[in-house]
Amino acid sequence: MDSSVELLVTACLRSLDIGLARTGMNVFSMLLEQLLSRGVIKGEVIAMDSTAIKAYSQRDLENKRGKSDLDARVGRGRRGFVLGYKVHTVCCTNSELPLAFTVQPCNLNEKRFIKNLMENLRNQGVSFKTVIADAQYDSAKVRETVRRYGAEPVIPYRKCSKIRNALRVGGDFILRGVKRLVRLFRKRVSIERVFSRAKEWLLLDHLRVRRLEQVFIYTCLSFSAMLTVALTAVRQHKPRFIRSIKYYTTQ
């Protein structure tokens, strides 16, 4: 194939992917808006984190990016380095449902996307008052960004911090600090449960697509499925099943 034709085809395919991604986000936003209006999602206390998902590709010879997925990068995951992407996500700690997300190459730091996620939440009409995140988000800039949106950051300080009574995880992995902040931080488990359901029941970490736009669409479908389950449960007057993907997929 002529190189100019190949470039044109690639550009057209990527344009199509971008259009599909926008459509997917419109669906996600519509579902979220209905759940907010029904009071299923309150979003006053939110938790933030990221999870790594492996790319559908081998590594290139330089061991930095994907061989067949040129957007995938090698970055740190939970258990060492992984080739793939990170899904940066915010969830409601009360309903344990996703509120906003973005997908980025695995080598990019989590702190870079906090402002965009906060802005997305505001645009969706989510009135968050508390933002919970783990110690990897510990920085003065992150805390200032959260406060700029009128919310309280509940983020553990590093062990070397000299701030008295600061929230921190000790060398024994025990969380210490003001009791109110400790109780709030324990709600961070909600974001782990969101990732667990997305991976176990919606195959979020079993990619069979390549390139950033396709992975974004795949993630959007997974999180939209979660919101669809929640909305279906509410409409059927079965609020106890708003998080039960199993209930609606094994009948």
Burial class (CB in 10 A: 0-12, 13-18, 19+), 2: exposed
Distance CA 102, CA 98 (A): 11
What 3-state DSSP class applies to 187? helix
Q: Best-predicted range by mean pLDDT among 22-26, 162-166, 195-199, 203-207?
A: 195-199
Residue numbers of the domain that contains 205: 3-249
Residue 160: the pLDDT is 67
Residue 171: the pLDDT is 67
Instruction: Convert the pLDDT of each residue in 70-115 to its tens digit.
Output: 999 999 887 789 999 999 999 999 999 999 999 999 999 999 999 9
Distance CA 179, CA 198 (A): 31
Instruction: Convert the pLDDT of each residue in 195-224 to its tens digit.
Output: 999 999 999 999 999 999 999 999 999 999
Amino acid in position 215: V
Is 17's pLDDT higher than 70?
Answer: no
pLDDT band at 168 (very low <50, low <70, confident <90, very high): confident
Domain count within the chain: 1
Distance CA 69, CA 211 (A): 6
Assign residue 50 the CATH number of its domain.
3.30.420.10
Biggest distance spanned by C-alpha atoms of the chain: 66
Q: What is the pTM of this model?
A: 0.89
Is 19's pLDDT higher than 90?
Answer: no
Tokens 């995140």 correspond to 133
